[in-house]
Amino acid sequence: MRRLKDLRKQDFSPTLLDFGPVQFYIARHFGFCYGVENAIEISYRAIEENLHRRVFLLSQMIHNQEVNNDLQSRGIKFIMDTDGRQFIPWSDLKPDDVVIIPAFGTTVEIENLLLDKGLEVQKYNTTCPFVEKVWNRSEKLSLDHYSIIIHGKPKHEETRATFSHSARRGPSLVLRDMSDAISLGDFIRGSKNSQDFLFEFAGKYTEGFNPEKDLQRIGVVNQTTMLATETQAIADYLRAVMVQKYGLQNIAYHFADTRDTLCYATNDNQDATYELLKTDADFALVVGGYNSSNTSHIVELCERKFPTYFINSDQEIKSRNEIHHFNFHEKKKVITENFIPEKDPVRIVLTSGASCPDTLVDRVLLKTLSFFENSKSVENLLQDFERKI
């Protein structure tokens, strides 16, 4: 209803669902984006159209275990995990097999390997158009003789794919965070030498990268699911370094004026999360896959204000007094007791990442709601909400 009333996305404030003893602040934007919906639709179509053929996914379709488990239950096999570790040898693949390229895309090397084996790679290629947009931006920068600086997680499938496509055209380098950017600034200024660069950024730059030459002209792109403010901060910092070294009058030659390359869903979800931070909630529930980059960034934002519990489904809420959740900083599951405060009303922020089905958010809300007696029914609340909106 909010979306239909606000097609141009002018209002990012959360929706308040008041059940009486418990209130939920629902993010204005959350859940599946176009790229994820498209990827899942293509994957199910691949299964239906190839009942008597083997169907493989290069790796996880998206970073959501429930979706991936369902695909596996229907017979799809994963060739590798999200870090590129092989489950099924390339030698096992036959020309008659079906291989689905996930929404994150894949490297040029893997695509060529599949083509050399006689496999069709485009029919079920689910690469998100926003990922391809980053590849196209990188290609244009390279053709204009800029080195490509990629803000992303070096081991993430999307960043590996972007790096591979960018490396075909010219010098490329991956920065994980602002700390990497500050260090890179030292090399640009010349306060660190080239040998230190080769050691410090080992495994993150293209073969033959020459920091003395290849850091004279740069442009910044990013993994589409990174935190938008961090990408902008990195770009601003590197631009300031280039101004310091070459002068403002020469900045256009040395630093490409790239617009933000985050996808619209990542931007919308993050903007909606900033609005959630303006609420007076007791804690936040963020639903999504534990290896989901965009979801972890939403968790990171919520943690700035609220006790935040990162869960992958309603099954992690064991009772009113116990929740199992993921600490993404330490990469481990933890248990928190008495996470729901004894007060009336309890105010809860609820949102999810772009790879999380809406049904999971529904189930988390209903499971939490079940702990509160004398709550308004969902049916009555929706009727009241519809009248108000």
CA gap 287, 313 in Å, rounded: 6
CA gap 317, 320 in Å, rounded: 8
Residue 202 to residues 174, 175, 197: CA-CA distances in angstroms?
10, 11, 8
E strand spans, 141-277 = 147-151, 172-175, 218-222
Catalytic residue (one of 49, 158, 230, 342): 158
CA gap 310, 299 in Å, rounded: 7
113 SS3 class = helix
Strand order of the sheet with strand 98-100?
A: 77-78, 55-57, 98-100
Residue 16 to residues 10, 20, 328, 382: CA-CA distances in angstroms?
17, 11, 28, 11
Selection from 105, 245, 79 nearest residue 166 by Cα: 105
Question: Is 48 noted as a catalytic residue in this protein?
Answer: no
* φ, ψ of residue 26 in degrees (nearest 5): -95, 130
- Catalytic residues, which ones? 158
